[in-house]
Chain A
Amino acid sequence: MAASIWVKCKQAALLPVICLLLNSCTDNTADNGIQAETAPAAEQPKFEVLTVEIKDMKFVPDSITVKKGDEVVFVNRDIVTHCVTEEKSKAWTSGMILAGESYIWKATESAAYICAIHKVMKGKIVVQ
């Protein structure tokens, strides 16, 4: 149980690294002008995966800037349940994010958000 959650968290944490590695590979190929035999450039993901930790009752970082299409992974590192809910009109919500679990938000438009369970917990995402 606990182990699988850790694996999940680790995977979430590794995703940005993997994306960076893939991007750098693509760049190198382009610079050298060598046609690599690996996956064609068209299949490389153009978006990034960024992580917001929910830790000690705070969103860390509490403000993040992303591009449209990026994914934001909210990872709950606390022992209590949290959620992520759009603040102004409750346009979207993660539902309950249990301790150790995570929620992936696909960046569409900028939003100020709160944890609807603990309404003093706030953060924002700027989509460029």
Chain B
Amino acid sequence: MKHTILKCLGIAFVVSLGIAPAKAQNTLTDPEIAHVAVTANSIDIGYAEIAKEKSKDADVLNFAKAMASDHKAVIDQAVALVTKLHVTPADNGVSKKMLADAEKTKKMLRSKSGKAFDKAYIDNEVAYHKAVIAAVETVLIPQSHNAELKDLLQKVAPTLKTHLEHAEMVQSNFNGHGSKHMGKM
């Protein structure tokens, strides 16, 4: 039951990442999957960099630092793997859509400051990690052909889930303290 709900949620998130339409037309190749994986990680590093510039909240800064470091570690692994396999990541519609969406989100984040920025950043981290986890589990892992690529994606999944839990923890602290002073975002 719970699994079915998660699946439904997953599909919703995948749609929000722009992966579902691509799946409907045709499946992703391994070089495309590698490109999507690297793009998804780079995007979160981009968000973290904005947070490091704009936030003064210790929890947000700590989280952003972890995101920058962990997602770089994943990219390093992905690059090492494609180098070893002599594969060149291939740009594709999914990567393009993700980057276009990320540009909009970054613009939104840059327009905010103070507590409103912290909340917007963490809310986006929660939503983004949910979407990426769903994409990794329902699209990228099942569509990977190369066993090592599949392994790497499977190894990354728990990292993403821990990031989500961590983001939700920071988010719940904000909701606990901030709701008295701030109206609805």
Binding site for B on A (CB under 8 A): 56-58, 78-81, 99, 116-121
Q: Is the CB of B162 within 8 A of A118?
A: yes
Selected A-B contacts with CB under 8 Å, 19 pairs: A56-B155, A57-B158, A57-B159, A58-B158, A79-B73, A79-B77, A79-B159, A80-B70, A80-B74, A80-B159, A81-B69, A81-B70, A81-B73, A117-B65, A118-B163, A119-B62, A119-B169, A120-B165, A121-B162
B54 interface hit (Cβ, 8 Å): no
Shortest Cβ gap from B98 to chain A (Å)? 22
B165 & A79 in contact (Cβ 8 Å cutoff): no
A120 touches B73 (CB 8 A): no
B162, A57: Cβ atoms under 8 Å?
yes
Residues of A within 8 A of B65 (CB): 117
User: Chain B 129-158 against A: per-residue CB contact (8 Å), 1 yes, 0 no?
Assistant: 000000000000000000000000001101
Interface residues of chain B, those whose CB is within 8 Å of chain A, are 62, 65-66, 69-70, 73-74, 77, 155-156, 158-159, 161-163, 165-166, 169
Q: Is the interface of A mostly helix, strand, loop or mixed?
A: loop
**With A57-B162, A99-B73, A119-B62 given, can you name 6 additional A-B contacts, CB distance below 8 Å?**
A56-B158, A80-B70, A81-B73, A117-B65, A118-B66, A118-B163
A120 to B172 CA separation, bound complex (whole angstroms): 13
